[in-house]
């Protein structure tokens, strides 16, 4: 038979995001990004786009955008294909990287901003494209590149 002892002390809340286990607004803010990389954080939040676009990008990075694929996963009513091209299932990858309408938008936007980067199409993710495109883009255009992404 095991003997279990309980402490007579008071229960205590412990904040695990600081070394001293004491809450701070800074540690809470940084905990928000736990699990994300600095690059994805920069890509999302350090750009010139409106907050609603940043919020969409953040949702997309969490795979929480309401694409028809996600609607189907949750058993909700959805259109069977992409509403832009009506050719492929509407996944986030299709919407951001593969749709022919998206390719046109990428092409026009990159040309308008004179960013010498190829449009993302065969990259595994938008993040991969951004990392690759950043290497071939003059530093002065890096924030514009983040904003486009
Ligand atoms: Zn499409």
List, for residues 38-82, the tens digit of each pLDDT value: 457 777 888 888 999 888 888 888 878 888 888 999 999 999 899
Res 100: pLDDT? 94
Cα-to-centroid distance, 135 and ligand 1 (Å): 28
Cα-to-centroid distance, 28 and ligand 1 (Å): 38
Cα-to-centroid distance, 36 and ligand 1 (Å): 28
Helix (H, G, I), strand (E, B) or coil at 24: coil
Residue bearing the bigger pLDDT, 32 or 149 = 149
Res 37: pLDDT? 39
Query: Is residue 94 scored above 50 in pLDDT?
Result: yes
Enumerate residues with CB within 5 Å of ligand 1 (an ion). Answer: 82, 84-85, 99
């Amino acid at each position: 038979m095991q003997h279990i002892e309980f402490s007579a002390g008071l229960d205590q809340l412990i904040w695990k995001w600081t070394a001293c286990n004491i809450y701070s607004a800074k540690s809470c803010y940084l905990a928000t990004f736990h699990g994300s990389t600095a690059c994805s954080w920069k890509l999302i939040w350090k750009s010139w786009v409106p907050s609603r676009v940043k919020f969409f990008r953040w949702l997309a990075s969490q795979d929480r955008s309401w694409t028809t694929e996600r609607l189907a996963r949750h058993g909700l009513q959805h259109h069977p294909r992409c509403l832009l091209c009506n050719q492929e299932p509407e996944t986030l990858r299709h919407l951001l990287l593969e749709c022919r309408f998206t390719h046109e938008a990428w092409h026009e936007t990159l040309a308008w901003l004179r960013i010498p980067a190829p449009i993302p199409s065969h990259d595994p993710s938008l993040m991969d494209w951004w990392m690759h495109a950043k290497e071939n883009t003059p530093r002065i255009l890096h924030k514009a590149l983040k904003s486009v992404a």
